[in-house]
Structure 1
Amino acid sequence: MIVCVLLLFAWLPAPILSLKPVSAHRRFEYKHSFKGPHLVLQDGTIPFWTHHGNALPSSERIRVVPSMKSQSGSVWTKSNAAFENWEIEVSFRISGRNRIGADGLAIWYTRERGATGPVYGAVDHWDGVGIFLDTYDNDGKMNNPAILVVGNDGRLTYDHLNDGGSQTLGSCFRDYRNIYHAVRIRVSLTEPGTMDPSSQLPSVEQEEYQKEYERFEKDLEKRKDEFQKEHPELQTPDEEAFETEGQREFQMVAGGQRMIHEELKKLRERLDAAFTEQRRHSEHLSRMGKDERTTTAGGHPEQDTGDSERLALLLNGQKEMVQQVQEISVNIADMLSKVRQSQQSLNAIAEDKSHVNEIQEHIHVVKNGINSLTNTKVQQVSCPEVPPIPSCTSAWHFLVFIVLQSVFFLSYLIHRNRREIHSKKFF
């Protein structure tokens, strides 16, 4: 029994859109295919297919695994693929937030349906062929993502540590992770002696491709010769014209360290300048203390003891100040950046302060005016009497108006009701 499966063992989401095996005569086999919309039935099952593990089928696609670690899922056909020649087309997407992928995706063509296992979510020692889309670099050779074809007769143990290693029948490298559009893979199987229909090209197209290739090759050789004639000093061997990925990363690290070294050098120069300035001030103060001590000793010998104590206190204060300056100089670079940022805020504060001063002046003027008003004696002024306001209407007129309004309103309601009854007779 030979079945075909599309399986993913990873925490990365990989929805599968279609799987279409066809025969040598391009006959569509609906029992070996699925495609949205209306992919699943009301009970959540896929017609002619079974899903296992953490697979999540929906109306548009099948999500083989959710976005969680250590998850596996699979989708298997119920019918046997008893075809001598067949071709399948798989549309899928593998995406995730992490730069490091999980195990990957596998397309199985085996004798029996595989259960959950360690090889891309399926059992090891399979009997058939597996097409692996490997997205995790187990051997550390930076050769992922890759597409591998591995065959097994039921006795081979898959080499996980070396990503298949010498067990692969063929491989290629292709970046299919985190791509906005769906990726399509077409796999065909033909009997020996039979040409693969997908690989056949008309003779006219083959001739056009060959002519175009020869034309581009001649143009490239011509440009290379012209460049070598114009720049004879740039004779670089081909193996030295390109840098490896490790060399590129090393250059990036070296460039970053060079920038850090330059910044540290500038900071050290600023610290040296600050220390020099501080030392100059300290020497100047010490010299002034010596001159004052000499003057005191020559003119007033009775005050020598008090002056010496004051000078000792002054020198101790200078030493403490030097220590504080040394501690502060460590953060000079940060302080300079903060000062630049605070200059703008200081300008805004100065403007606000001028506005505040103006407001205070206005408040002072208003306060003086209020004080002058409160201090002045105000004579009691009697308000004039308000004349009586005559009423606009009497009670009798108001009642008559209400009665007339009610009569008119009732007449309008009766008239509208009659018109509605009269209009209903025509329907």
Structure 2
Amino acid sequence: MSLDESYEALKETILEWGGVEVTAMDVYSDIFNLGYNEIQKENEAPGEFKANPLGYFRNNDAHKGHYRIMFDDTFENSLKELQEADFAILNGITYFGRKNVQDHASTMRAMIFDLDGTDAKHLANFFSGAIRGDAYPVPNYVVMSGHNIHLYYVFEYAIPLYPNIKIQLRELKFALTRKIWNQYTTTIKNPQYQGINQGFRVIGGKTKVEGRRVRAFKLNDHPFNLETLGKYVPEESRVDESQLFKLTFLSLEEAKKKYPDWYERRIVKKEPKGSWECKRALYDWWLRQIQSGATHQHRYFCIMCLAIYGVKCGVPFEEVKKDAYDLIPFLNSLKADEPFTENDVKTALECYDSDYITFPRDVISKLTAIPIQSNKRNGRPQKLHLKGARAIQKINDEFNGTNWRDGNGRKPKKGIVQQWKSEHPNGKKIDCEKETGLSRHTVIKWWDD
């Protein structure tokens, strides 16, 4: 079956299961309640604390993309601009400000999923399981983006994105992805996990296929709430609605009394938020994991997490950037008919930001479909774990007549740096980092000593 025949078969399957084609404005008006004064108008006076959807678009001949605030009264005109761009995305979230970064997210109006690798047969299986068997929630809209399917679940009320709710919504979305994405609904084995901030090609906009536009079909008139979506996932993955409308912030005066150390460090001294310093070896390890375990549908997230590991390990941005661009030929080889471009790398590298320094290991593993084993101590505290390890070493030494410390003593880091400098009189700090495996901060500390 040709690609065009496959596309037509997908469309016919949607129609057979009750889908009715609708316009982009039909979908976005439903999601954002356009015309009901819920999002800001273009020249509206400040003070109402309203937020707006944010579009992002880029043309193939442009060096960078642009953000577009989608106002209530000019939404349609802004949408037309996005639809004519070579690449444009929008999601179901409203934001404060001009960039669709998660820290600025205000409310979630719709939860959207990719269902890649599905054909007419697998899509029919999904519809059958959802409509006849209640195995999956029936999406409000099914969107065809080139050869991919997007599922839109519209909320009956805006979900406020307080920090604790963001974390719960992320877990809910991951759990629903695991539910929806299986051997009966897609040909791709590993689920493609996406955060709540993920953008999706604009309905009515251009796709990767020349001359083909993103099309939307309505399937379900009934909006969702967190309870109706939550019934499809295990209880531990559901959102605690009792916390939904509770502000989780303390006033500065309350925080000063309750957390004096934090107040002194963050507010008075204006220090950055706490983090830890990871060894350079962790970054190099992740680079090897990409080269051995990346799959084509997770290429973007592999580079995104390379940037995150770069931040965690103190690797200079220019070096991370070079490593990312050097991976393009390999990532293209995973699926030559869907090239991974320099623009894809550029967008993924936006995660080289200190805000991502505490990005959790389990989320990285889910986004990239690359297993990451945790360091196990069998539930013991580190101090007790090390004590047990040393006891085992002592027993082995007594039995074997050896001393595990012989020849294994670590050189002081100062000595390593100074020895490397003496052997490389014209060497640079970055080369010292690479060859010794020491962190950037350690090399800088002892460089001029």
TM-score by length of structure 1 reads 0.20
Query: Which has the bigger relative contact order, CA under 8 A and spacing at least 6?
Result: 2
Q: Say which structure is richer in strand.
A: 1
Larger Cα Rg: Structure 1 or Structure 2? 1
